[in-house]
Amino acid sequence: MTFKKIIIAASLTITVAAVAFAEEPKSAPAAGATPAVSTTAPAATAPGVAAQTPAAATSAAPAPLKKNVELKANKAITLTMFAVIIGITMGVVVWAARQTKSASDFYAAGGGITGTQNGWAIAGDYMSAASFLGISGLISLYGYDGFMYSVGWLVAYITVLLIVAEPCRNAGKYTLGDILSFRTNPKPVRAFAAISTVAVSTFYLTAQMVGAGKLMALLVGVPYKTAIVGVGILMVGYVVFGGMTATTWVQIIKAGLLMSGAFLLSFLVLLKCNFNPLAFFQSIVNSPDIQDHVSKMVLKDGVTLTGIDAGQRFLEPGLFLKNPLDQISLGMALVLGTAGMPHILMRFFTVPTAQAARKSVIIAMFIIGGFYVLTTLLGFGAAINLTPQGIISVDPGGNMATLILAQTLGAEIAPILGDIFLAFLCSVAFATILAVVSGLVLAASAAIAHDIYVNVVKDGHADQHEQVMAARITSLVVGVVGIMIGLMAEKANVAHLVALAFAVASSGNLPVVVLSLFWRKFNTAGVISGLVVGTIASIGLVMVSPNMTYPLKVADGAKKVVAAMEKKQAELPPGATLSEKDAKSLAKAKVDSQLTGTSMMGLEKPLFTLKNPGIVSIPLGFIAAILGCLMFPNKRSEEMFDEVYVRQNTGLGMAKAIDH
């Protein structure tokens, strides 16, 4: 593949992503505080329902319903389901531990994972709890825009398939540092690559850990700290004892469970409309609850819609995606960042051939694409069966929509089935987090043990036993640090950490990987300058962006809430009081309205207005890498390009795969 083809492919991908990607969800499982559970959605009246089409006007339009929506997991059933899934995965770890004897086994499963298995593992590594719960919730509240967000995640794998999958598998060994150091000065390059890998993994790992703690606390009543320690112990066990083999099979099992749960719930959703897609979407348009929900939104054009027009708008863009520049920036970061995520890149070292690497990406794309189609059904199904008002009453961000839907539809068949179905999906969400954090811990530990200890400290002179021991000790340390960070971040807003992870991967990692594989003049100076500038630019811009907390801005918003609640209280009949939920909101708003001070960076308001810095930091990463090479040319790096080119196209020099 020539450099010109790479540019064309990347341009096409970014163009598609600009259409497909949306602004980041404003409330993710990892970021929000535990929502207060309210059993009844607020009553509402949909104005203008009578002004519908002649066909719809033949009968009186129904008023919005009071939906009794609640989320209450059966602790005994849920914990039993958790125990079953944990037992199965721990059995996998015991089996994998017997297979893990060399460094190649630990880091890359000996290259013995088939393309099909690796495709399922990639899907399991990529489909996080945030996407499972967050995207379906986004669709249930914002309709079409949430659907476009889910499609965007699938687009990211076009970049992986066209640019990095085959060359990385052929040119690398275990880590990002292996790819970058082949024709450069290995020690400084490995050191900087390891730092970048650990930074990306830590950002992403912290968000997942906090999400696990919040999820367990909400659904099962397990204390946050207990949940964090439990998740940490399990992920350390998977990685320390089973290495890549155990991590791979945990991800495969998790992907299978997630697809099964999503398919079964989608089946129940379609069953309620007799598998008629036209009737399904017509019920969305005609739903008085959805119409009322849309009528209260502030639309970009300032027009207030009512009746069937409001219902139709739920199936059109514009309810959530309001800043095209932010959408493009986020799209660039996610599309290009996926190809630079260390735990995704590591997956290509586990397959025996380049053909298997390509096959694994294609299979992953089909699985991920199918999953996000199912999340679309789940999101719209939740809007129809639960109503947006009912979903908001349980969780304002909509993240619990899928779980409430599972319990509701299962209970319609039999009450015990609702509890079982909810317990199953809770367990799947838990397994999802375990699979993702295990991959992240493995990527971080590989960077430290293989790149820093073995190749920098020991100068490559370490036997297999020493390499495996270093990897396991490092995994243990990374896991313990992850637990400590998760415990400290309990009350912190960690939503920006996901943006940081993808921004660093797209701005620092991807430019140097692509240029190292496809540009003859690329050298050590280019790698270091690209990694340093891309990483610092992306982190720096996020730290001065709206992702951070600005106390004065929070206080202004809280004052508006106080005014609205006090007005509502004044309009109540004599002797009546605000509901428990409204009273809590008023009390919290009064406290927040007194906030003063600045953000972590000493700012009263954001300097950089976009939530994701990709549109600025990605070009900076590429420019810095190119300028570094041109300013400090290296003849040896140019001469070795032919060898790299042969290796990335043929796989010459890769270790022979072993069967598992």
Q: What is the pLDDT of residues 246-258, one digit of tens each?
A: 889 989 998 999 9
| Contacts of residue 131, Cβ cutoff 8 Å, sequence gap at least 6 | 150, 153, 372, 375
Nearest to 22 by CA among 129, 141, 135, 152: 152
Give the pLDDT confidence score for residue 264 in this predicted structure.
Answer: 93
Q: What pLDDT sits at residue 660?
A: 40
pLDDT in the model for residue 300: 61
pLDDT of residue 382: 92
pLDDT at 41: 33
pLDDT in tens, 333-356: 877 888 888 888 888 888 888 788
How far, in Å, CA of 199 to CA of 516, rounded?
Answer: 21
Structural domains of the chain, ranges and CATH numbers in brackets: 3-34+73-550+598-650 (1.20.1730.10)
Which residues in the chain come in under a pLDDT of 70? 1-68, 130, 148-149, 151-153, 172, 298-303, 321, 492-496, 499, 651-660
Measured CA to CA, the distance from residue 165 to residue 115 in angstroms comes to: 12
Residue-level pLDDT at 398? 82
Q: What is the pLDDT of residue 343?
A: 83
What are the φ/ψ torsions at residue 68 (nearest 5 degrees)? -85, 90
Q: Which backbone phi and psi does 299 adopt, to 5 degrees? A: -85, 160
Q: What pLDDT is stored for residue 629 in this prediction?
A: 92
Q: Give which of 392, 433, 489 is closest to 132, Cα–Cα.
A: 433
